[in-house]
Amino acid sequence: GENVEQHPSTLSVQEGDSAVIKCTYSDSASNYFPWYKQELGKRPQLIIDIRSNVGEKKDQRIAVTLNKTAKHFSLHITETQPEDSAVYFCAASANTNAGKSTFGDGTTLTVKP
């Protein structure tokens, strides 16, 4: 089955700096790569996603890049703010497998004011 590895497990940055979280996946059939943000005690919520026919996608301060050849994708957050502090999860799924999503173990991002 699919295996998703996520790094780093914790990340601390100063407000205004950029943050980068990286994930690798193993199943070449995976073609959908979402990122979820989970605030303390809350449910995970989608912040951005990318499909395999696209190399990069941007939404304001958040961007995701995908390298299908190397089987890795990354989340980039620019101009970080304290409210960006949360746990971020990457995931991978293939539409040929009932859309089952395999998640990375998460990255705890702390943005220091």
Partner 1 sequence: NAGVTQTPKFQVLKTGQSMTLQCAQDMNHNSMYWYRQDPGMGLRLIYYSASEGTTDKGEVPNGYNVSRLNKREFSLRLESAAPSQTSVYFCASRIRFGELFFGEGSRLTVL
By CB under 8 A, the residues from 48 to 77 that bind partner 1 are 49
Contact 99, 44 (CB under 8 A): no
Q: Which tokens is 27 given?
A: 């199943």
Q: Residue 19 or residue 94: which is nearer to partner 1 going by CB?
A: 94
6 binds partner 1 (CB under 8 A): yes
102 binds partner 1 (CB under 8 A): yes
Residue from 43, 53, 70, 113 that binds partner 1 (CB under 8 A)? Answer: 43
Q: Tell me how far, at minimum, the Cβ of 113 lies from partner 1, in Å.
A: 26
Q: Of 1-9, 52-60, 61-69, 72-80, which part binds partner 1 (CB under 8 A)?
A: 1-9
Size of the site for partner 1 (CB under 8 A): 25
Q: Tell me how far, at minimum, the Cβ of 103 lies from partner 1, in Å.
A: 4
Whole-angstrom distance, CA of residue 48 vs CA of residue 45: 9
Which residues partner with 77 through β-bridges?
Answer: 19, 62
State how far the alpha carbon of 112 is from the alpha carbons of 14, 88, 102, in Å: 5, 17, 30
